[in-house]
Chains A and B, each alone.
Chain A
Amino acid sequence: MAAQQGDVDELFDVKNAYYIGSYQQCINEAQKVKPSTPEKEVERDTFLYRAYIAQRKYAVVMDDIKASSSPELQAVKMFAEYRSNEGKRDAIVAELDKKMAKSVDVANTTFLLMAASIYYHEMNTDAALRTLHQGESLECMAMTIQVLLSLDRVDLARKELKKMQERDEDATLTQLSMAWVNIAVGGEKLQDAYYIFQEMSDKFSPTLLLLNGQAACHMAQNKWEEAEGVLQEALDKDSSHPETLINLIVLTQHLGKAPEVTNRYLSQLKDAHRAHPFLRDYLAKENEFDRLAMQYAPTATV
């Protein structure tokens, strides 16, 4: 808070749009804004390219960022390469491991974030957390919370959140992190989480990220009808958004819709996002089922 106090963050719109998942707006804002210092310019570019990554436009990032670009942007490029090319992932991770083994420029928050993102994608939560631990930015903390939540360590996530709140309670990232933690805590906190997502939708724009957050809150409270409205809105915005589809798979069943409806969403998901973790899990479970089913057999055969 001390750092922000008084002066206005000129990149607020850019960052904010990025965090709430309004990527195109982030790109637009980034192209509009005129940073006052070269540092800010680099920061703006990192967000610009990260927004492209979030839109899966990896080529833009990889083509635009040259070898001469700043180390921050190099980190972004590394992440883009990791995301774009499944085959090169192992190599990238190996290289990253090497880099991490040496001393790391802790001031390069973007590098830390990108490295942690790669580790997180690799399900190497230990390495992700260790990397994030070196950073001090709010985003590092937010990512730490996300990793902790994925490890079901709500207790630690809350501690981290408290630190964030001490830093800047009203920051978008703090608010979002609070919502994630609240969803994990459950009970009465779910409504709080919902309000956070809803407030941001009202204030900025209802992005897929915020809408799915709202839907998750609704569903956690067994408010299926309300969730349907929100998810329908999300589906209207993007009919092949994987998280929306997954939530719809959950929702349609809870609403008692015919199994065909659910299967339709599942097929859509399989079509468009074969590599999505949800499907990876799903297929693994199918295999597990087959394996387990073999352990049973009738005593007598016909």
Chain B
Amino acid sequence: MLTKFETKSARVKGLSFHPKRPWILASLHNGVIQLWDYRMCTLIDKFDEHDGPVRGIDFHKQQPLFVSGGDDYKIKVWNYKLRRCLFTLLGHLDYIRTTFFHHEYPWILSASDDQTIRIWNWQSRTCVCVLTGHNHYVMCAQFHPSEDLVVSASLDQTVRVWDISGLRKKNLSPGAVETEVRGISGVDLFGASDAVVKHVLEGHDRGVNWAAFHPSMPLIVSGADDRQVKIWRMNESKAWELDTCRGHYNNVSCAVFHPRQELILSNSEDKSIRVWDMSKRTGVQTFRRDHDRFWVLGAHPNLNLFAAGHDSGMLVFKLERERPAYAVYGNMLYYVKDRFLRQLDFNSSKDTAVMQLRSGSKFPVFSMSYNPAENAVLLCTRATNLENSTYDLYSIPKESDSQNPDAPEGKRSSGLTAVWVARNRFAVLDRMHSLLIKNLKNEIVKKVQVPSCEEIFYAGTGSLLLRDADGVTLFDVQQKRSLATVKIAKVKYVVWSADTSHVALLAKHAIMICNRKLESLCNIHENIRVKSGAWDESGVFIYTTSNHIKYALTSGDHGIIRTLDLPIYVTRVRGNSVYCLDRECRPRVLTIDPTEYRFKLALVNRKYEEVLHMVRNAKLVGQSIIAYLQKKGYPEVALHFVKDEKTRFSLALECGNIEVALEAAKALDERGCWERLGEAALLQGHHQVVEMCYQRTKNFDKLTFLYLITGNLAKLRKMMKIAEIRKDMSGHYQGALYLGDVSERVRILKNCGQKSLAYLTAATHGMDEEAEALKETFDLEKETVPEVDPNAQLLQPPPPINPLDTNWPLLTVSKGFFEGAIAAKGKAGQMAADMDVEAPGGEGWGEDAELQLDEDGFMDAQDALGEEGVAKEEGGGWEVEEDLDLPPELELPGGAGGGPEDGFFVPPTKGMNPTQLWCNNSQLPVDHILAGSFETAMRLLHDQVGVVQFGPYKQLFMQTLSRGRTCFLGLPSLPCLRGNPQRNWKDCGAKQGLPAVGLRLSDLIARLQQCYQLTTAGRFEDAVERFRAILLSVPLLVVDNKQEIAEAQQLITICREYIVGLTMETERKKLPKETLDQQKRLCEMAAYFTHCSLQPVHMVLVLRTALNLFFKLKNFKTAAGFARRLLELGPKPEVAQQTRKILAACEKTLTDTHQLNYDPHNPFDLCAASYTPLYRGRPVEKCPLSGACYCPPYKGQVCRVTQATEIGKDVIGLRVSPLQFR
């Protein structure tokens, strides 16, 4: 039994769950009714109007109402929204024991010590029926959940079932008029027909305290002072006692059916709650309290929750855990549902049952540990008595039918918890709380002494987290020692991040996030139960409490993401989706708004671009965010959110952003703002802003002083004028003083009647005229002309060297990202737009590129055509030669010298290396090269394709050899070990191995493209080199089917044609062209070239060359032939146009001027050595590999195409597939 919530109060006599909200009503012996939220664990309301104990209490199923009945004989109907009693039903003459609403009709059923049961209509607020018959207190009366029945229990030792269908017909059938029931007298008259006793159940030996219907079956349970719980069965005609549950040793107060399971719950004054198995009539669980007698039980109509009231409060509990056992690996969720292990693929949402679990335990699976390497699971089952807990080790079948999955035999052992610690090891915490390490056969490999430990959790390979009373310890199983400990009480679950860099420890009301070394990063306290959690991709921990999905950053920031109606168990978080299991074990996906925590995460990680993006695009406004930013020291970020100018202003000042502050101040235009801005700007030496502030605030003194210190004399003078206008004498004078304007000073002094001062000033400054004039105004009788101090010095302010126009120089501080961003705000918008415009363009490019690929890159070639003619004429780069590294001679290390033989130790002989097997298993040359057996490889190449000159093969041999063996390090400082990748590694066994080839036909074909491009670019030498490399590589292929064999042969043909053609063309360009014969030879060769099988794009080029040469030679007839062939290939419009012109010119005189050794109509092969046509029927020798043709005299020489094979050699033929040996 799991207690979810407890209260302390006076004796609880009545309980009622709210059907939807997490609320429960408790009616107390002291007259108070309490409304609790059992999830938040808070008291929501108190209703204190009853006088004396309140025993009956019931929520209405739909309306915001509840009914209560007390020892004050009153039935009260309350509205909890209005928080008051709506009305009181009076009628009972003694204590009221129970009050219940009907689930459908507007009725209330009450049972009373006045020996009656009454039915009230709470709409008309009248008593509609009185059920009499019991001859002692009626302790309980309840409606049937679906039928027109009432069950009642009384201290007269009977349980009665009443039929109230009459009442329903009378009152609620259509058209029926509400019966007038006036007082009890009326009921006496008609009541008998309204409600009749159907069954009287006798069997209890003492008074019956409680009776209740089964929610679906025709059963009744009752509890009585004879300490028994009885089960009764009824049908239409009779009712009989079915069974008795004995065990309580004091009065049974209450007994109810479990709403969904075959269980009965009862509680008693013997201070216990007992759970009984209905079918076996045996006690399943007992829960005892030390001092409190139990009085009442309540069952939640929908959830797996119960409540029990006792002498000093009540408790809300459930019988078993509802948490599904699950494990997540990669994209897979494994979970247990209804005796099946199911697998959910997060990506495809495919949910399949993979395995049926062995039955036999009455307890649900408590936890699961999954091992991806072995595809095995450990399922732990926890019994009420912990010592009886067991675990099962299952190997998940590879293939399974979801409809009817296999039930593989598992291995069961006792143990509290079992978790994987390595690919082939798991740890078991046994009931003695010691740690066993077991292997896949469930055999103990070793025992590990651990510090006191109540529970173990996974902690990566080779490690465990051990929980003891007040902390969690990271324990290395291999080293058998503790690595780190962290204090946190009662951790229940542990959630590792995907890369195991962080771990979240979940306790009942707390979360601690630690790093891999179990150093605490943050602690979060929750008032509500923490349920589950998962790490999202970005390293934010998403967790659920009973009613919220929340997030936590490793820095400790946490907050609510959304609310939940019912608890869920998070399995994975990805993007906006939270994958979870609910209490019915259904996988669900909830959508969340991750903006807030992403934002905070970006801030913490200083990814300001991201922050800014979110600020601009997400709806992230709100005081909380601004306050958060301000608190966390990011006022500049907060600035982005603030629309309110006042806040904006103060934020800008806070982060010293004068520009923004100025903007805001302009908008606000308040004196206070300008003053504050002025101060801030002055501190930064931003005197232009200071000036503006002083101007706005009309602070003339400060302004004047500012002009003085900035040396702005013009403005200073202006200020003086202003002071004059304002009649601010002292200001005026001060200005004059600052300016050193003596005459002005004199004037001021004179005007304000300070004649003597004016005189002195004038005199001292040598303004004699002025002084004289002043002197005359003195009335010598009354006044004395002051003496001029002969030592007086001129009081002149130093003139400014340079007026300061610019602001004070500021240190070039790199502008914070956000300040810059604010400045660039306007521009950024444009840029974004630009990018949008460009985006489709990008796609267009993509399409083009694809097009090129489709046409094998010829688009490219055609584009470049115009220039190529020229390039070709020039012959391209010539000098490139294959540079072969000729390594210095090195001596082989000396062979292993045999030491003296020991008597007892005989060193083993060398074993069979896989590479030797490769040679034995294959007749393909490449396998022998990979095996390092050059000798046999050469022989094979010689015999198969007639290679006699291996020079060109050296590079290929060495490369091939170097990919034959991998290496890995054994012990440090020792030569490495070698691995031998094999192509048939899966099923070759020890003897049938063949090396992984590493050369693919497709790669060779792909390399053709490069050669074509070189050809197009006119770099014939390079192209030939590459074609030859491809050609020579073909015998080193291994292919699987006939089609590929044909393709390999075709590849050889292509290479050969190009090599022959291109070598001839290179040769042709080297020939002299002075004489006619020489020119004729050139033309012939050009003509032969057009008979090599080339790609159309190249053929166009070749034909154009031939056409031009023949036209120049005035062999118009043949030229016309070339022109027509050229046009057939569909060249580019310009080329076509030009060709047509030439063709037209040729057709005027359709003759050949010169006789050439070229007959376009007579098919021929071209001798690759002499470049002469070998017309059909003439003897010909061929190269065994390339198939190039030669005149017979060349037999026995090295093929010009391959430069490796012997012309006309008798060979087996190309062998590139094991198929060719069958």
Q: What is the interface of chain A, defined by CB distance below 8 A to chain B?
A: 1, 5-6, 8-9, 12, 18-19, 21, 23, 50-51, 53-54, 79, 83, 97, 100-101, 117, 120-127, 129-130, 133, 139, 142-143, 146, 148-156, 169-172, 176, 180, 183-187, 190-192, 195-196, 199-200, 202-203, 208-209, 212-213, 215-217, 219-222, 243, 246-247, 249-250, 253-254, 256, 259, 262, 266, 277-278, 280, 282-290, 292-293, 295-302
Contact = CB atoms under 8 A, between A and B. Distances in A.
B938 A152 contact: no
B977 interface: yes
Contacts of B899: 97, 100, 124, 126-127, 130
B949 interface: yes
Given A146-B971, A221-B985, A256 B1000 contact: yes
11 contacts: A8-B479, A83-B973, A123-B893, A143-B971, A156-B908, A180-B968, A192-B423, A220-B979, A249-B962, A250-B964, A302-B1197
Nearest to B1194: A300
Contact of B981 (A200, A203, A219): A219
B967 interface: yes
Nearest to A247: B966
A217 B373 CA distance: 15
Contacts of B893: 123, 280
Contact of B958 (A126, A150, A289): A289
For B896, B935, B981, B996, the residue with the greatest tally of chain A CB atoms inside 10 Å of its CB is: B981
Contacts of B460: 202-203
For B888, B974, B1206, the residue with the greatest tally of chain A CB atoms inside 10 Å of its CB is: B974
A285 B976 contact: no
A221 B966 CA distance: 12
B959 A259 contact: yes
A180 B970 CA distance: 7
Contacts of A123: 893-896
A259 B423 CA distance: 39
B423 A222 contact: no
Given A170-B425, A220-B980, A282-B958, A152 B479 contact: no
Contacts of B900: 101
Contacts of A254: 963, 981, 996, 998
A202 B500 contact: yes
For A79, A101, A191, A249, the residue with the greatest tally of chain B CB atoms inside 10 Å of its CB is: A249
A150 B977 contact: yes
Contacts of A300: 1195-1197
B461 interface: yes
Interface residues of B, number: 100
A243 B969 contact: yes
Contacts of B993: 186
Contacts of B958: 282, 285-286, 289
A299 B970 CA distance: 50
Interface string B448-461: 01000000000011
B932 A199 contact: no
B896 A124 contact: yes
Interface string B943-979: 0000111110011011111111111111111111111
Contact of B957 (A150, A187, A289): A289
A222 B938 contact: no
Contact of A187 (B425, B887, B909, B986): B986
Contacts, number: 272
B408 to A, nearest CB: 20
A18 B529 CA distance: 46
B910 interface: yes
A284 to B, nearest CB: 5
B641 interface: no
Interface in B899-954: 899-900, 902, 905, 907-914, 932, 934-935, 938, 942, 947-951, 954
Closest 7 CB pairs of A and B: A300-B1196, A152-B911, A299-B1196, A293-B950, A256-B1003, A126-B907, A216-B968
A173 to B, nearest CB: 8
Contacts of A190: 985
B192 interface: no
B816 interface: no
Given A117-B974, A139-B971, A253-B998, A148 B963 contact: no
B982 interface: yes
Q: Name B's interface SS.
A: loop
A219 B1006 CA distance: 23
Contacts of A18: 972
Contacts of B932: 285
A96 B977 CA distance: 24
A298 B966 contact: no
A118 to B, nearest CB: 10
Interface in B985-1040: 985-990, 993, 996, 998-1000, 1002-1003, 1006
A101 B901 CA distance: 11
B481 A8 contact: yes
Given A180-B977, A183-B968, A208-B969, 15 more contacts: A126-B899, A129-B908, A130-B899, A171-B478, A176-B970, A183-B977, A212-B967, A219-B966, A243-B969, A254-B996, A277-B976, A285-B934, A286-B954, A296-B948, A296-B949
A50 B976 CA distance: 17
Contacts of B1197: 298, 300-302
A140 B934 CA distance: 36
Contacts of B715: none
Interface string B685-722: 00000000000000000000000000000000000000
For B895, B900, B967, B998, the residue with the greatest tally of chain A CB atoms inside 10 Å of its CB is: B967
A142 B971 contact: yes
Contact of B461 (A121, A129, A176, A203): A203
Contacts of A170: 422, 425, 437, 445-446, 462, 477-478
B913 A152 contact: yes
Contacts of B1196: 298-300
Contact of A202 (B461, B902, B948): B461
B897 interface: yes
B977 A186 contact: no
Contact of A253 (B888, B912, B999): B999
Given A170-B478, A298-B1197, A129 B907 contact: yes
B969 A282 contact: no
Given A180-B970, A250-B963, A148 B942 contact: no
B892 interface: yes
Contacts of A153: 908, 910-911
Contacts of A172: 478
For A12, A19, A222, the residue with the greatest tally of chain B CB atoms inside 10 Å of its CB is: A222
A296 B911 CA distance: 32
Given A126-B898, A243-B968, A284-B890, A296 B462 contact: no
A126 B960 CA distance: 31
A176 B974 CA distance: 14
Contacts of B423: 192, 195-196, 199
Contacts of B446: 1, 5, 170
Contacts of A219: 966, 979, 981, 996
A187 B984 CA distance: 9
B983 interface: yes
B889 interface: yes
Contacts of B935: 292
A60 B568 CA distance: 61
A165 to B, nearest CB: 10
A212 B963 contact: no
Contacts of B987: 187
B974 A250 contact: no
A186 to B, nearest CB: 6
Nearest to A100: B899
Contacts of B897: 124
B525 to A, nearest CB: 32
Given A130-B899, A143-B971, A266 B478 contact: no
A283 B934 contact: no
B1120 interface: no
